[in-house]
Amino acid sequence: MQVLQQQGKGAMHTFTREFYHPIDRTGQVTPMAADRFHQDHRRFLPGAYEEHSLVWKRDHCRTLEPSERAQAMCVPIAAVTATTGPAEQRRAKQNSLLGNGFHIPSILVILMLLPQLLEAKLIPRNLQPLMGGECTLWGA
């Protein structure tokens, strides 16, 4: 509720692909987030290193693992575990697969609400058969 009242400020950073990111957005984050961004070899955007986007255990923080990201996105972890290569490459591929994805429940809600938002009306019309004769849509 607090995030909504603050118009999105304080929300967790969106998941993105994992690769060596440029430093052009470091001016938009806190100095601590910029430091964490560089310490983690710039794997994600600088905003992903803000305190509210990390998981913490006492004084230590980290970004979410691919299995944790999959749980948050409601994607079975088996959907991304088939990646190959060394451990670091596998992790990067898994994070990138999830970073390019959508939150499944959100998509389902949109698809379920979409028909209710449309103002479609069924208008019965007369259908003319190809071989002659009178036919209506409702069989009148």
pLDDT in tens, 109-130: 888 888 777 776 666 677 666 5
> Distance between CA atoms of 17 and 27, rounded to whole angstroms?
21
Residue type, 45: L
Range of the domain at 54: 1-63
Q: For residues 20 and 30, state if they share a domain.
A: yes
Q: For residues 31 and 86, state if they share a domain.
A: no
What token pair was written down for 5? 């009242």
Any domain includes 19? yes
Q: For residues 41 and 86, state if they share a domain.
A: no
Any domain includes 138? no
Q: For residues 69 and 59, state if they share a domain.
A: no
DSSP state of 8: T
Beta partners for residue 126, in sequence order: 136
pLDDT tens digits for the chain (140 residues)? 877 788 877 788 888 899 999 999 999 999 999 999 999 999 999 999 999 999 999 989 999 999 999 998 888 989 888 889 999 999 999 999 998 788 888 888 888 888 777 776 666 677 666 555 555 555 54
User: What is the torsion angle, in degrees rounded to the nearest 10, for the CA atoms of residue 69, residue 71, residue 75 and residue 79?
Assistant: 70
Q: For residues 5 and 47, state if they share a domain.
A: yes
N residues, the chain: 140
Q: For residues 55 and 75, state if they share a domain.
A: no
Task: Say how many domains are in the chain.
Answer: 2
Q: For residues 1 and 59, state if they share a domain.
A: yes
Any domain includes 125? no
Which residues have C-beta within 8 Å of that of residue 79, sequence separation ≥ 6?
A: 70, 97
Q: pTM above 0.85?
A: no
Q: What is the pLDDT of residue 82?
A: 86
DSSP state of 140: -
